[in-house]
Amino acid sequence: EAGVVQSPRYKIIEKKQPVAFWCNPISGHNTLYWYRQNLGQGPELLIRYENEEAVDDSQLPKDRFSAERLKGVDSTLKIQPAELGDSAVYLCASSPHRGSDTQYFGPGTRLTVL
């Protein structure tokens, strides 16, 4: 079974530029999470989807961050414009359905903002 897939693995941009990350969850998983992991810290939830519905986006900085999961499968997280403090690893995770507590993580996208 393929795991959670993310791309790109690494991204370097200059501040004020836009950037987008893509995630494909494990096949059949309805719940999808985006996390941000700062250096030396644990992952922090940004947004959670149940199919195509964002059920918890309270931690997403909505002035510059946006996300979508239009068909309830893969998802895109966007930052526009990026700031220096956005440098982090952006992790995607999935669970089979909302009643499942186990989350499976992707390899992440390491973003560096110069």
Partner 1 sequence: GENVEQHPSTLSVQEGDSAVIKCTYSDSASNYFPWYKQELGKRPQLIIDIRSNVGEKKDQRIAVTLNKTAKHFSLHITETQPEDSAVYFCAASSIGAGSYQLTFGKGTKLSVIP
Binding site for partner 1 (CB under 8 A): 3-4, 31, 40-45, 48, 50, 55-56, 91, 95, 98-108, 110
Compute the least distance from the CB of residue 37 to partner 1, in Å. Answer: 8
Min CB(51)–partner 1 separation in Å: 11
Q: Which two tokens stand for residue 110?
A: 């390491």
Which residue number, 19 or 106, has a Cβ lying nearer to partner 1?
A: 106
Tell me whether residue 16 or residue 98 sits nearer to partner 1 (CB atom).
98
Which residues, other chains included, contact 65 with Cβ-Cβ below 8 Å and sequence gap of 6+?
46, 77, 78, 79
Our CB check for partner 1 shows the closer of 40 and 85 to be 40
Residue 91 CB, nearest distance to partner 1 (Å)?
A: 7
DSSP 109: E
Dihedral Cα 96, 38, 2, 59, nearest 10 deg: 30
3-state helix, strand, coil in the chain (%, to 5): 5, 50, 50
